[in-house]
Amino acid sequence: AGVADLGGVSYGELRLDLRHVFATQEIRGTFSGMHGSDGSRGQQHQLSYRRRASWNVYHQRMRGRACQFEDDARDRLGCADSLSASMALPVAGGNAYLAYTRRQTWRAGTVQLGLGDDPLAGLDPLLPPWIPQPTRVPQLSRTWQASYSRSQRWGEFSVSSRIGVWQQTSGGGLRDGRDRGIYFNFSLNRLQRGDRGSSQRRYGLDVRQPQHARPDINYSAGQTLRQEYEDQYREVSGELRGNNNERYSATLSGQLQNRIGQTGATVSRYQHQGGNEVAYSATHSSGLAIGSRGLYWGAGVGADAGLAVQVDGTDDLDLTGVAAELQVGGLRRQRLKLGERRLLPVSAYQSHRAEVQDASALDSIAAVRVSGVGGARPLFLSPGRLVRMPVPIEVTYTFIGNAHDIAGAPLRGARILNAPVPGTGSNGGFVADFPRREKTLYLLQDDRLLHCPLQVRERRSVVMLVGAVQCEPLAVAQLPADIRHQARVTRLLQEQALIAATPQTAAAGGAQ
């Protein structure tokens, strides 16, 4: 339900969407009604059924100011009744389509009473002239359309074609008569993906042949370059169009989407028999939302509701880049950086699914994973509502190397105290995953406590190679407090009698 005020006129609308899915079929229904304070009203109903074939029925009834013999430029409802029915069926690797539309409109007009309607026609010269009476002039059109379309692969190209016929009958207006013909559409697309983005080339041909007119032929060729870098999306597109009426156009456009909005620019040149025209346009749109946790920017404008996404940050200033990917409804995939906040537009009164997944770069110094929000989250928002969606992350630093003592002997079977990870091997080798970027490796071999500086010599993907590290003896008091106070480390030091056992740990050891 919703209420709006436009030009001093209030409108109220109520809509109900129904959907039921069976094992092999689906039914959808939409019912809506509108009423305005100026007397305008309208209804829209749609029913769809799908089981191999798809069946759709749509009915619309609008009664605006035009039905009251008032010509108001602000009236977009008009005065019309429309009924449409269509059917789509898969046939021979393609799709057959059949549709029928009946549309009746009324426009304001006047009528002059004739002599046969006037009982005082003989006194007409002595009477004042008749005032024209307002009336509604109906205009009715019926349209049939049938087509067959098919898409298939041809090498690196995707080929789509459609052939169809139509017939339209109209009456009650200035264009009474019947129009029929045949049309043909053909398109050729080639999509190439690379490490730095994708390129799409497309070619198209549209032919329309009415029954009593010359054919209308339109052709086009275009190319689009797309690139996603970090959290930015860039696109550049060019297109050439022409037809058999000596009309030609060339268009070059570009757009940039990032966390602060969407920016686009377009330049077009048109050539026809009357001369040349050049058109320019530039746009920028941003969305702003203020929640209990702060400010959120995004590229959505005019949305009914919003999803405020916040990715956890990290204390490591050297760790940057994309951490997660988010897909919401029909929006383009969003790539989110560490610590980023972003606002995503969401349509109200519609079911959506928000799905988050990992997107850590291979050249990062650590592996970044999304934790705790796996799977898809359902969303159904009312107008004006802002839902916050935190994205927690886990950071893992992986070090590979060999530990040796001062004499150069490998430290076999040493326990790593930094984190609960496997100890060193028979040759002193270790593979250690830490939740933070450690600068020193702390080992316990029998009753020897050692520390080993970690200096990265080479980095492969998210693995840091430190090679052979030299470890020196360390006093227990020099062990960092955050490591020494861990229960696991405390127990290991007490077992080697490096620190005194407390009553609690002694009891725990006796119980074991």
Using CA atoms, how far apart are residues 387 and 508, in angstroms rounded to an integer?
Answer: 47
Domain identity same for 204 and 278: yes
Expressed in angstroms, the distance from the first to the final Cα of the chain is 66
| Domain span including residue 421 | 396-511
Residue 26 corresponds to which tokens in the numbers above? 């689906």
* Residue finishing a domain among 285, 319, 337: 285
When divided into structural domains, the chain yields a total of 4
| Cβ burial, residue 75 (10 Å; 0-12/13-18/19+) | buried
Decide: 469 and 432 in contact? Cβ < 8 Å. Answer: no
Task: Give the H/E segment covering residue 273.
Answer: none
In a domain, 197, yes or no: yes
Q: What is the per-residue pLDDT for 425?
A: 92
DSSP class of residue 340?
A: -
Helix (H) / strand (E) containing 508:
helix 503-511
Assigned domain for 186 exists: yes
Instruction: Kindly state whether residue 231 falls inside one of the protein's structural domains.
Output: yes
* 159, 270: one domain: yes
Domain finish residue from 95, 110, 125 = 110
Tell me the angle at which helices 487-495 and 503-511 cross, rounded to the nearest 10 degrees: 80
Could you tell me which residues come within 8 angstroms of residue 338 by beta carbon, excluding any fewer than 6 positions away?
311, 312, 313, 314, 319, 320, 321, 323, 368, 393
Whole-number pLDDT of residue 158: 94
> What distance lies between CA 140 and its chain's CA centroid?
40
C-alpha torsion sign, points 87, 18, 356, 299:
positive
Residues 6+ positions from 445 with CB-CB distance below 8 Å? 411, 412, 413, 414, 415
Same domain assignment for residues 359 and 466:
no
Look at residue 43 and tell me if it is in a domain. yes
Question: Which residue's entry shows tokens 């725990």?
Answer: 508
Residues 220 and 328 in one domain: no
- From start to end of 273-304, where are the E strands? 275-285, 287-291, 294-298
3-state SS, 346-368, equals: ECCCCCEEEEEEECCCCCCCCEE
Q: Are residues 429 and 416 in the same domain?
A: yes
3-state secondary structure 429-493: EEEEEECCCCCEEEEEECCEEEEEECCCCEEECCEEEEEEEECEECCHHHCCHHHHCCHHHHHHH
Q: Is residue 146 part of a domain?
A: no
Please give the DSSP secondary-structure letter assigned to residue 68: G
- Contact status, residue 401 vs residue 495, Cβ threshold 8 Å: no
**How many Å apart are CA 338 and CA 439, to the nearest integer?**
22
Residues 402 and 504 in one domain: yes
Could you give the CA distance from residue 228 to residue 332 in angstroms, rounded to a whole number? 11
Whether residues 346 and 449 share a domain: the answer is no
Residue 227 covered by a domain: yes
Q: Which two tokens mark 86?
A: 């269509």
pTM above 0.75, yes or no: no
Q: Residue 364 is part of a domain; what is its CATH number?
A: 2.60.40
- What residues are paired with 458 via a beta bridge? 465
The pLDDT of residue 220 is 96
Which residue bears the tokens 């100890």? 423
- 412 in the same domain as 498: yes
Contacts of 181 (CB under 8 A, 6+ apart): 165, 166, 208, 209, 210, 211
Same domain, 261 and 308: no
Strand ranges in 68-93 using DSSP code E only, listed in sequence order: 79-91
pLDDT at 108: 58
Task: Say whether both 328 and 422 belong to one domain.
Answer: no
Residue 303 lies in a domain: yes
Helix (H) or strand (E) holding 507: helix 503-511
333 and 357 belong to one structural domain: yes
Which residue, 391, 408, 427, sits at the end of a domain?
A: 391
Looking at residue 511, its pLDDT comes to 42
The predicted structure's pLDDT at residue 232: 81
SS3 content of the chain, % helix, strand, coil (to 5): 5, 60, 30
The alpha carbons of the chain give a radius of gyration, in whole angstroms, of: 36
Residues 271 and 326 occupy one common structural domain:
no
- 307 falls within a domain: yes
Six token digits for residue 154? 């041809």
Q: Could you list the pLDDT tens digit for every one of the 512 residues in the chain?
A: 778 777 777 888 888 888 888 888 899 999 999 888 878 888 999 999 998 899 999 999 988 776 766 555 555 667 889 999 999 999 988 999 999 999 998 765 555 555 445 555 555 555 555 555 555 667 889 999 999 999 999 888 999 999 999 999 988 655 568 889 999 999 999 999 887 789 999 999 999 999 888 899 999 999 999 998 777 889 999 999 999 988 999 999 999 988 788 899 999 999 988 889 999 999 998 888 887 777 888 876 667 788 888 888 888 878 888 888 888 877 778 888 888 888 888 888 788 888 888 887 666 788 888 887 666 788 888 888 888 888 888 899 999 999 999 989 999 999 999 999 999 999 999 999 999 889 999 999 988 899 999 999 988 878 999 999 999 999 998 999 989 888 999 998 888 878 776 654 444 444 44
